[in-house]
Amino acid sequence: MPDFTVAATQRARVRVPLRFQDGYRVDAELVTFHGLTDGLEHVAVVLGDPTPGTTPLVRLHSECLTGDVFGSARCDCGPQLREAVERIAERGGVLLYLRQEGRGIGLYNKLDAYALQDQGLDTYAANAALGLPEDARDYTAAAQMLTALGIGELDLLSNNPDKADQLRALGIQVQGRVPTGVFATPDNVRYLRAKVLQTQHTLPLGELAGLNAG
């Protein structure tokens, strides 16, 4: 079992019909929690109906106001969120929407890092220039949420090996890591390449080779 000082519990569970700009629709249950270790208002999005005996598909999706809400093309967060909702709904599982803007550094710091990226730094070097960690995210609260939902074993929808490693260290059984799609554009290709080279994200560099940052 995860080594938590305080166990989280479910606070509320409500049905919410989701509607995306491309016309995709699905019903979800949003779950809130008491007792999360970081005190943030993370939300679980429960989707689909898992077949009994099958492993649920789970995604840890870090909040990205610019990508998720405003459709920014500087990252691949918005397309990843849209894809994850449909894939999880088809199989049955949970998307954890985690309030970890900018890999945990916050919105203002993320935008400061964008300004440095416009001067030629990659996403990780920009964080370092600001005296910030490359990735400040901690997934203890995510493991608490999964435990409160009764999920101790899962397949993780992610290209990021650190997410799987942290969950396993917290006692969650990650049976497999399922890659997301590749949502490369001229605007985000430098960002995606940096993720592959700096933090070993499982993205095919060959598919990015033909794109130039605009």
Query: Mean pLDDT for each 10-residue chunk of the chain (214 residues)?
Result: 70 97 96 97 95 91 95 89 96 97 94 92 88 92 97 94 94 93 60 54 51 47
Give the SS3 label for residue 211.
coil
For the chain, which domains are there? Answer: 9-100+137-181 (3.40.50.10990), 185-214 (no CATH)
Q: Which residues are documented as binding site for GTP?
A: 59-63, 80, 101-103, 123, 158, 163
Tokens coding 18: 């989701």
User: pLDDT at position 200, please?
Assistant: 46
Give the type of residue at 32: T
The answer to whether residues 61 and 98 touch, using CB atoms and an 8 Å cutoff, is: yes
Closest CA to 26 of 72, 75, 91: 91
- Catalytic site residue 193? no
Q: Given 3-state DSSP classes, what are the helix, strand and coil percentages for the chain, each rounded to the nearest 5?
A: 35, 25, 40
- Catalytic site residue 155? no
Other beta carbons less than 10 A from residue 74's beta carbon = 17
CA–CA separation, 144 and 173 (whole Å): 13
Q: Which residues are documented as binding site?
A: 59-64, 75, 77, 80, 101-103, 123, 158, 163
Choosing from 91, 135, 155, 190, the catalytic residue is: 135
Choosing from 87, 91, 137, 190, the catalytic residue is: 137
CA–CA separation, 113 and 106 (whole Å): 11
User: pLDDT at position 75, please?
Assistant: 86
Phi, psi of 206, deg, nearest 5? -60, -35
pTM for the model: 0.85
Tokens coding 35: 């007792």
- How many CA atoms within 13 Å lie on the side-chain side of 43? 12
Place of tokens 């099958």: 54
Q: Which residues are documented as binding site for Zn(2+)?
A: 64, 75, 77
User: pLDDT at position 214, please?
Assistant: 41
